[in-house]
Amino acid sequence: MRRWGRYILLLCVATAILVWVKPAHAETDPAKLQQQIEELARQVLLLQSQANTLSNQIKQFDAQIRLTQLKIDETEERIKLLGGRIDQLEGSLESLTKAFSTRVVETYKLSRVGEPFVFLASSKDLNEAVVKQSYLKKIQESDRDLLVRLQVAQNTYKTQKTESEELQEKLNTQKAELDTQKAAKAQLLSVTRNDEKKYQQLLAQAKAEYEAIQAIIAGKGQEEEVGDVSQGQRIANVIQGASCNSSGAHLHFIVAQGSSPQNPFSYLKSVDYENCSGSRCGSGDGDAFNPSGSWDWPISPRISFNQGYGSTWGIRNTWVGKVYNFHNGIDINGTSSEVRAVRAGKLYRGSYGGSGGCRLRYVRVHHSDGVLDTYYLHINY
């Protein structure tokens, strides 16, 4: 009977291992963190609905930065809590697996001597043989139950490991977002020199430029036909320095089908470039630069990429997001100021005078295929 006693002891140890696995308690109250996050989110929304001043914009940045930091704290706490559970499961699974392996061996040995005739021969009487047979049946049932519980514990471990990896990715994204928000605030203070008047000037300039560009694409600019141009022919020069509705030198390049803007990256080919569309040049948080077409660029590489197409970093993080929510072209610079036609077609020179008090010059090429137009803005001709 010594073997039976040893086996029952193993059963008790394995059961105790399973019972011991309990979730660790978080040191920080998750409900309290969530409540703070919700309150700050409401503050951000309230600030966004208030007057568009530099002071208010800075308050929005500060509130958003605090909100992101709280989200980071919450994610870190969840990782910490989950890590405790995973550590416990690792130790428990190791012990449980060893105990189960030992039990399998013992059960096999018992089953070999558990044949009815062997039980009868090794027992004092029929009653003892029946008791041994009953014990063996219960042990085998317990093994099957323990195997199921072991498989559940293993699946739980895998699930929690995956969740932990996903939370770590989320944490990395949140930290990158926090860095971007801090950089955007610093950029705002730098370009405005923390001056309300300068901030309002930047807003007015962005509004005037947006109005002019929308009008030009809609065909409201005053144009004159120049004549046919070939692909690669010089058609203008980028204005150096600040100009009408522009705080610095750049080419705003648009591809349009009728009055509908198209993504220029669908037409332009791969080229050497520097990405300056985010918090700083080469920061990695800027707009996607993914040309996939065959056109040559309108300016000479190396391209300095200042703003992309669509919902850009600038829209999400700077004052221009107060003016428009979609950028209908790309803003670029090159190694020279010369601007060239990307395709052959008919050249038009135009300008538009809007509420900004200046006339925005541009050139347009109506492509020979009759489908597309390309626009080149902030230029002289």
What's this model's pTM, rounded to 2 decimal places?
A: 0.70
Distance in angstroms (rounded) separating the CA atoms of residues 350 and 238: 15
**Residues contacting 125, CB < 8 A, separation 6+:** none
Residues in the chain: 381
Name the 3-class secondary structure at 333. Answer: strand
> Is 284 a residue whose pLDDT tops 70?
yes
Interatomic CA distance for residues 123 and 134, integer angstroms: 14
80-98 confidence digits (pLDDT tens):
888 877 777 766 666 666 6
Confidence at residue 49, expressed as pLDDT on a 0 to 100 scale: 84
| Contact (Cβ atoms closer than 8 angstroms) between residue 76 and residue 171 | yes
Q: Which element (helix H / strand E) includes 145?
A: helix 126-192
DSSP 264-282: GGGTBPP--EEE-SSSSTT
Query: Partners of 364 in the beta sheet?
Result: 348, 375
β-strands 260-262, 359-367 pairing = unpaired
The DSSP element (H or E) to which 132 belongs, if any, is helix 126-192
Mode of pairing for the β-strands spanning 338-340 and 234-238: antiparallel
Instruction: Find residue 351's DSSP bridge partners.
Output: 222, 361
Question: Which H or E element spans position 192?
Answer: helix 126-192
- What are the tens digits of pLDDT across the range 287-321? 999 999 999 999 999 999 999 999 999 999 888 88
Predicted confidence (pLDDT) per residue in 56-78, tens digit: 999 999 999 999 999 999 999 88
Contact call for residues 365 and 347 (beta carbons, < 8 A) = yes
Q: What mean pLDDT value characterizes the chain? A: 84
Strand extents, DSSP E, the chain: 222-229, 234-238, 251-257, 260-262, 273-275, 303-307, 330-333, 338-340, 345-353, 359-367, 373-377, 379-380
Residue extents of the structural domains in the chain: 2-192, 214-380
Please give the Cα distance from 234 to 275 (Å, whole number).
Answer: 25
The tens digit of pLDDT for each residue in 241-251 reads 888 888 789 99
* 183-240 residue pLDDT tens: 889 988 988 888 999 999 888 888 989 999 999 999 999 999 999 999 999 999 999 9
Q: In what order do the strands lie in the sheet with 379-380?
A: 338-340, 234-238, 379-380
Cα distance between residue 14 and residue 378, in whole Å: 77
As a whole-number percent, the residues of the chain with pLDDT over 70 amount to 78
> Hey, which residues does 64 pair with through a beta bridge?
none
Q: Can you count the helices (H) and strands (E) in the chain?
A: 7, 12
